[in-house]
Amino acid sequence: MRRLALLPLAAALILASSASATLQPIRRTYGERSLPRVRAGTLKIPSASSRRLTVLADLRLPPLAAYNRNLFSAISTTGLNVRSSSSRAYLARLARAQRVAAAELRRAIPSARIAYRYRVVMDGFAVSLPARKLPALARLPAVTKIYPSVRYELDTNRSPAVIGADTMWATTGDRGDGVKIGIVDDGIDQSNAFFNPAGFSYPAGFPRGATAYTTPKVIVARAYPGPGSGAQGKLPLDRRSSFHGTHVAGIAAGDAGTNVGPGLDHPAVAGLSGIAPRAWLGSYRVFNTPTPTGYDAFTPQIVAAFEAAVNDGMDVINFSGGGPEADPVSDALVEAVHNVANAGVVPVISAGNDRDDWGLGSVGSPGTAPDAISVAAVSNSHVFAPSLSLTTSDAPATLKNIPFADNEQVPGTWTTADQTLADVGTIVGTDGRPVERHLCGPASDPNNRGTLPTESARGAILLVSRGICAFSTKAANAEIGGAAGLVLVDNRPGEANFIPLQLPLAAGMVSDLDGARLRAYLDSKGGRAPIRFASSFNELNTGRSGIVTSFSSAGPTDFGHRLKPDVAAPGGQILSATLPEALGEPFAVFDGTSMSAPHVTGAVALLVARHPSWTPAEVKSALMSTAGAAWGDTARTQEASVLLEGAGLVNVPRADDPKLFTTPVSLSFEDLDVSAGAARRSLLLEIRDAGGGAGVWTPGLQAQAATSGSFIDLPASVAVLPGGTAEIPVVVRADASAATGDDYGFITLTRGSDVRRVPYYFAVERPGAAIGPVLPLKRFQTGDTRTGTSNISQYRFPASPFGPPPTYTGAQMNESGGEKLYYLHVNQPVANVGVAIVGVSAGALVEPWFLGSRDENDVQGYPGTPVNANLLSADYRLDLGVAGAIFPRQKRYYVAVDSGRDIFTGRSLAGAYLLRSWINDVTPPRFKLLTKRVTAGRPLLAARVTDRGSGVDPLSLVIQYRPRVLLGAALYDPSSGLALFPIPRSAPRVRRGLFKGAALAQDNQETKNIDQIGANVLPNTTIKRVNLRGTTRPTVTWLLPLGTSCVRGSTPLAVAASAGRKITAIRFYDGKRLIRTVRRGDLGLYTARWATRAAKRGPHTLRVVVRARGGSAQARRNVRVCR
C-alpha cells in the first residue's frame, strides 16, 4: 500500500494544480513476502502492443457434441463418431453457418481476424480485434456470447498401489488395453524408455498429426502454437522446453516394468509403471507460450486441442493445467469441457496448487467445470529426500531416516559426524522460563528478539516450531543463541514443506508428526541428543500415503460456491519420465495436482476398458461414490474435509463395481441467508442400479462440520428395483438464529455391508455487506476506515488471499475497519473493471474487495481480492490494494473498502484513503526516463510514469541500468507520475559511457489480469528501451514543474543533481532573477518553492545551476504563470 505521509526530503513537493500531490514511499515488504529494490534480472523488450483483444465468439447453433447428445442420448451409450454420415452432415451445416457469420464479422469489423474455428466442442471462432470494437462484436446477431482468452499454467513407483491399480491389474488383468488417452500438455517424448512401443501396434486410422513424433504407443502428435511461441510452438515437442507432458503421460500410461537409473533427485528404481500401461497415448501440445514463469497455454489453443482429441477418438482427456477461476459465464472452457463429456470423452483435470497461498476457494479453471473430474493431490507412501537420524542406540525406528526438506545441502560435517540437536523449549530463557518453542518475540511483537540467551545454544542445531513469527526472526534469534542451524517442525499436515526463503544459517523442515516424535524423545533425554544427516536423495518409505497436500487447491468454487475438487489421488513425490535436455535426466520426481490428475486418468482408462458402455457421468459417479478417506492429518487419524478431498481417495477396484450411479455426484446447496429469517434449500439425489445395486438403501449423514441451528432432512429408506432408478429428496434448513459457517460432509447410502457416499456442502450466512449504506462509486473517492461500524470481518472466496495466518489455523483474516460500500453498473461488454487504493494515511493498509452482490462471501475470485493475482508479475501475491473483475457480466457490482490488523502484532491498520476506479483499461502505462545524462557513480534516477486508466502500480517500476541489474523505484507520486530511483550503496554504480538499458512499468489492472488480452502476455505492462549516459561532469535534470505546465501560487521546484565531488550549491532562477539557493539535498533530490504572485502572467524560463567542486551544470524549464 502506498502512503500519503511524505519522507522529509519530499516535504515541499506540492504540485501547482487544484489537487495536491505527494511523493509516497513504496512499501516493499508484506509480512514474510518482500520484493527487493535491487535484484538480478534482465528486461526483454516485447513487440509493440497492438491494443487488440483475443476473445472467443460463441455462435447460435449447438456444437456437434451437444447436437449428437440431444439427438441420440435416449438410444445410444457410445461416444461421438465424428465420421458418421449424420455427424458429417451436421458439421457441414455448421461450416455454412460459420461462413455467413464470418462475412458478417468482416463487414462490421474489417480489422477483425479469425484464428480458430470450432465445431465439435463449441460453435464459434477465436477472434482478434481492436479492444474498442468489443461492444460491436457483442451486437452482431450471430454472436450469442463472448469469452475471454484465459491464461493457464502447468499444475506442477508406488503410487499405483495407493489407488488400488495394482489390485485391479492382478484381479482383472485389465491394464487399459485398447483405450486412447489424450494428454493436452506440452508434448510427449515418444523416445523415452517409459513409452517403449514394443508389443504395441497402431489402431486403424493412426498415426495422426506429425507422424515423426509418433510410435505405436504415442499414436497422435499435434501442436497448437500460442501467442509469441514462434517456430518452436509449431512443434509437437520442443526438447529444450517440454518436460511436463512426458511426466504426466508416464503416470497415466507408462509401460509396466520400466527400470529407472539413479538421478539427481532419486535412486535407481525397478519396475516403474503407469496406471494404465497398455493404453495408447495422444499428444496435444498447447503449453508453448514463453512467460517469465515458464510456458503457458491459452483458451483458443486449449479448445482447439480438446476438439482435436474428440475428433481423434480419445476416450479420456487429461489436462494437468489451470488458472484462477473466472466467472463461469465468461469461461469458454466450461462449455468446452461440457461438450467433451457430451461427446463421450471423460475429461480429467487437475484441481490446482494454490491452497497454501489462497486457502479455500482456490480450485482452478477448468477443474471447476461441472463435467470435469477435478483431482486433488495426496501424499505418496514414500518420498525421495535427504534425511536425518538420531544416532543413539535406543532411538526408535521412527526417528531414523526422517525426511528432511532442506533448501540447500547441509554442511558436509553434518553428514560425516554427529551433531547436537536441541529442543529450544528445554532451554531456560532470559526471563527464567523455558524458551517458547516457536523461537519468537513477545506476544505484543512476535518479530522482536525472543528470550533465548546469548550463546546458550552454541554449536547446536535447534528444533523449533514453524509459525507465530517470520522465518527470518527465528533465524535471527537462533544466531543470538549461537546455534549452528535449525530443524523446523512444520505446522501443515503431510510431508514437510520447504522453507520459502533463504535463511542466514543452515536450515530445513520436518513434518509435524516427525517433529512431535523428535521433541518427545529429546525431552526424555534432557532436551539434547546426537543426530546425523544424509544429504543424498534416498527412497524413504514413510507409509503415510493419502494425506491431502498443503498445496492442493480446495473448494468451494469462487463463483456459485459449488463443491470441488471431486476426488483425490497421489500428487506428492511422483517419479516419472521427462526430457534430459530440459531437466538433465530422463526421469524425475515432481509434486503437484498435475501428477494426481493422470493417476485418475489412468484409473478412468482401466474402467473404460472394462465398461465401454459407461458414460463420462457414470465413470465420474463410480469413482466418487466408492472413494475412500483421504487424510487431514499426518498421523492419518482424521479424514480430510470434502472441501479438500472431494469424495475422497480413488479406489479403482471398488469403482469397478459401484452398485449405484448417482446424479448429481455431489450436492452443492450454495448459501442459506438467514438475515430475514429461517431459510431452506432442497436438491433431488437420483440413484440408479449400476449392476447389483437393487434393494433397499438407507440414507444417512456423515457430517464433518455443522453449524448450530442447521439441519439436513433425509428419508428413512429408498428402494431401487433391478435396473431401476429412485429419488432421494435432500433438504437443508437453517433457523433464523442459526450460527454462520460452513456445513459439509457426506450423505451415506447403506445396504448391508455396502456403503456409498455423496459429498455435500452449504454455508449459513448473514451478510454484513447488506447492513450499512451504499454509495455510488466515483472516479476518485475518499473515505476513512477508522470511522463507522465494522459489520464484516472476513471476505471470501478465495478465503485466504493474504496466505494462512501465522498459526496456520484459525481465522484467515480480521478485517476490523469500518468498511465503506460503493456500487457501480457495468452496462456493456468490457474487458475489465476495478478499483485501486492510490493513497492512504500514515501507517494504514486499506483494502478494497470487489463483490458480485451485497455479500462479503461473493468476492469475484482472485481478481476481486486486494492481492496481485497475476502470476507473471514480480509483485504477485502482494497486498497492493487493487481489486476488480475480468470480463464482467453486465450487472451491478459492489466495492467494499476495509482494513485489517497486523498479522503479527494485531495493530489496527485502518486509516484514510483515496480510491480510484476504472472500466475497460486495456492500455499500458507511459514511461519516460527524465535523467538520461547523469554523473557516473550512484546518482538519483528519475522517470515520469503515467496511466490514464487504472493508474500505475508503483511496486512494478524498474530500470535496468547495468547488465542484469534491476533497480526498483523508492518513491512515486500518483498525481504527477514522478518516480524516483535512488541507487543504494549495495547496488552497482552507473558506469561512464552510454548504456542501452530498459525500463518496466505495469498499471494496476495488470495485477488483476488472470486472462490474456491479446498477443502480449502482459498487455497492461510497458517494457521499453531507455538510454542512460554516465559522465564524469556534474549533471542536473528538472523534475518539477512539468514541462510547459501552467503554474500558480506557491509552486514546487525539484531537480535531480549529481556530481563526482561534493555539490556546494543549487541555484534556481526565473530568467536572471534568483529564486533560491539550496545547499543540501537528499538522495540527489533538491527542492525549493517559487512564489509566482510577483511573477508576470505568461511564459517564463526557469533555470537551475548546480555548482560542485570541479565543475558546474545547468538546465532550463519553460513554464507559464497563470492567474
List, as one string, the DSSP characters of 37-89: SEEE-----PPPP--EEEEEEEESSPPHHHHHHHHHTTT--S---TTSHHHHH
Distance separating alpha carbons of residues 530 and 9, to the nearest angstrom: 55
CATH of 768-919 among 2.60.120, 2.20.100, 1.10.3470, 2.60.40: 2.60.120
Quick one: which of 415, 409, 436 has its CA closest to 425?
Answer: 436
Residue 207 CA: distances (Å) to CA of 218, 219, 605: 8, 5, 20
Task: Give, as one character, the DSSP assignment of residue 1096.
Answer: P
Average pLDDT by stretches of 10, the chain with 1123 residues? 32 32 83 86 74 88 83 53 91 95 95 94 93 90 91 74 84 92 98 97 98 98 94 95 96 96 90 96 96 89 98 98 94 97 98 96 98 97 94 96 90 96 97 97 94 96 96 96 97 93 93 97 96 93 95 97 98 94 90 96 98 98 98 97 98 98 97 97 98 98 98 98 98 98 98 98 98 96 97 98 91 96 96 96 96 98 98 92 96 98 94 97 96 96 97 97 96 95 95 96 96 76 95 96 86 95 95 95 94 91 94 94 86
Quick one: which of 405, 411, 317, 412 has its CA closest to 366?
Answer: 317
Quick one: which of 297, 218, 323, 322 has its CA closest to 577?
Answer: 218
Cell 444417512 sits on residue: 700
Distance separating alpha carbons of residues 568 and 552, to the nearest angstrom: 10
Distance separating alpha carbons of residues 121 and 493, to the nearest angstrom: 40
Distance separating alpha carbons of residues 1021 and 307, to the nearest angstrom: 33
CB 642 within 8 A of CB 599: no
Domain 152-381+546-654 CATH class label: alpha beta
CATH 3.30.70 residue spans of the chain: 52-148
Distance separating alpha carbons of residues 821 and 819, to the nearest angstrom: 7
Cell 513504496 sits on residue: 26
Residue 616: cis peptide before it, omega within 30 degrees of 0 = no
**pLDDT for the residue numbered 571:** 96
**pLDDT for the residue numbered 16:** 29
Distance separating alpha carbons of residues 597 and 547, to the nearest angstrom: 16
Q: Tell me, what amino acid is at 926?
A: R
CATH 2.60.40.10 residue spans of the chain: 1034-1123
CB 762 within 8 A of CB 732: yes
DSSP 292-359: TTEEEEEHHHHHHHHHHHHHTT-SEEEE-EEBPPPPGGG-HHHHHHHHHHHTTPEEEEE--S-HHHH-
CB 895 within 8 A of CB 766: no
Quick one: which of 854, 846, 774 has its CA closest to 817?
Answer: 846
**pLDDT for the residue numbered 78:** 60
Whether domain 52-148 has CATH 1.20.1050: the reply is no
Quick one: which of 320, 311, 280, 288 has its CA closest to 118?
Answer: 311
Residue 1103 CA: distances (Å) to CA of 1049, 1063, 1084, 1116, 1117: 19, 17, 18, 4, 6
Q: Which three cell numbers stand for residue 724?
A: 431401476
Extract the runs of DSSP E, i.e. beta strands, from 752-879: 754-765, 774-776, 780-784, 820-825, 832-840, 846-851
CATH 3.50.30.30 residue spans of the chain: 384-541
Helix 593-610, helix 165-172: angle, nearest 10: 20
Say if strands 321-322 and 780-784 run parallel, antiparallel, or are unpaired.
unpaired
Distance separating alpha carbons of residues 731 and 727, to the nearest angstrom: 13
Distance separating alpha carbons of residues 547 and 377, to the nearest angstrom: 8
CATH code that applies to domain 660-765: 2.60.40.2310
CB 288 within 8 A of CB 227: no
CB 633 within 8 A of CB 645: no
**pLDDT for the residue numbered 79:** 77
Distance separating alpha carbons of residues 1017 and 1021, to the nearest angstrom: 9
CATH 3.40.50.200 residue spans of the chain: 152-381+546-654
Quick one: which of 364, 232, 240 has its CA closest to 285?
Answer: 232
CB 310 within 8 A of CB 64: no
Q: What are phi and psi of 747, to 5 degrees?
A: -85, 125
Element (H, E) at 93: helix 85-108
Quick one: which of 507, 514, 471, 516 has its CA closest to 487?
Answer: 507
**What is the 3 state secondary structure string of 984-1009?**
CCCCCCECCEEEEEEEEEEEHHHHHC
What pTM, to 2 d.p., does this model score? Answer: 0.93
Say if strands 289-291 and 294-298 run parallel, antiparallel, or are unpaired.
antiparallel
Cell 492419518 sits on residue: 636
Say if strands 321-322 and 151-154 run parallel, antiparallel, or are unpaired.
antiparallel
At a CB cut-off of 8 Å and minimum separation 6, what does 132 contact? none
Distance separating alpha carbons of residues 668 and 414, to the nearest angstrom: 52
**pLDDT for the residue numbered 48:** 59
**pLDDT for the residue numbered 74:** 36
Distance separating alpha carbons of residues 390 and 687, to the nearest angstrom: 54
DSSP 878-945: -B-SEEEEES--SSEEEEEEEE-B-TTT--B---EEEEEEEE---SPPEEEES--EEESBSPPEEEEE
Fold exhibited by the domain 384-541: Glucose Oxidase; domain 1 (3.50.30)
**pLDDT for the residue numbered 973:** 94
CATH code that applies to domain 1034-1123: 2.60.40.10
Q: What are phi and psi of 1113, to 5 degrees?
A: -155, 155
**Is the torsion defined by CA of 783, 787, 789, 790 positive or negative?**
positive
> How many residues in the chain?
1123
CB 324 within 8 A of CB 364: yes
CB 461 within 8 A of CB 418: no
Q: Residue 1026: exposed, middle, or buried by beta-carbon count in 10 A (0-12, 13-18, 19+)?
A: buried
CB 1015 within 8 A of CB 130: no
